[in-house]
Structure 1
Amino acid sequence: MKKLVLSVAVLLGSLSTFASNTIAPTVVSVNEIVMQDEYTEIGVDALPAAVKASIESAMPGAVVEKAYINEKKEYKLEVKVADQSTTIFTDANGAIVKK
């Protein structure tokens, strides 16, 4: 009887090794859709005074080379300071927006 119980225990023990949880590698693909706002080029002289003042206070000596506006009245400004160019986004009140 001992042999029968021992052999059943060994048999069940060996079956449990095949039933172990194996984690299959999963491939996660991240599809990111970036919505780009459509900006329309405007003249630098068409910028609101608040936007001009904001740029002047944030970056003294900066020259706005190109200006763009979107439907939300947000401005995209290509600014040059000394010999470096950068792009800055602001709202209609002159607050700088991070994008």
Structure 2
Amino acid sequence: MKKLFVAAALVFGGFATQAATSIDFNDVAIVVNQEEFQEIAVEEVPEAVTAALEKDYAGATINKAYVNEAKEYKLEVTIGEEAAVLYANENGEWIQK
């Protein structure tokens, strides 16, 4: 009879330790690398970029201009009545972003 109580105590003790076991979750961090564009005056946009804009988007007007460390230009433009954001490198070549 004494063995029965000891066996029961071991079984219930085993259940208690299993229930008390913590579950570790792997935290996932999502890192978004944003490019730092600094606003510049429209007059500071290189001639190659403005020439490409006039050639490929006739009638477009630059509202705001930005540049990053890689000399890539972000242009907020108005084409007709639509607003658009265009990206170009310093040579006037369009970049898909």
Q: TM-score, normalised by structure 1?
A: 0.66
Q: Which of 66, 70, 74 is the aligned partner of 1:72?
A: 70
Instruction: Report 1:5-16 matches (<5 A).
Output: none
Q: 1:50 aligns to what?
A: 48
Cα distance in 2 between the residues matched to 1:74 and 1:61: 22
Q: CA deviation at 1:34?
A: 2.9
The superposition leaves residues 12-67 of structure 1 with CA deviations (integer Å, 9 ceiling, x where unpaired) of xxxxxxxxxxxxxxxxxx97533110000000011110000011111000000000
The residue type paired with residue 91 of structure 1 is N
Cα RMSD (Å) of the superposition?
1.4
Q: 2:79 aligns to what?
A: 81
Structure 1: state its 5+ residue gaps. Answer: 1-29
Cα distance in 2 between the residues matched to 1:47 and 1:36: 21
Structure 1 stretches (4+) deviating beyond 6 angstroms? none
Q: Which of 89, 92, 95 is the aligned partner of 1:94?
A: 92
Distance 1:82 1:35, change over 3 A: same
The residue type paired with residue 53 of structure 1 is A
Structure 2: state its 5+ residue gaps. Answer: 1-27
Q: TM-score, normalised by structure 2?
A: 0.68
Cα distance in 1 between the residues matched to 2:29 and 2:79: 37
Q: Which of 27, 33, 37 is the aligned partner of 2:31?
A: 33
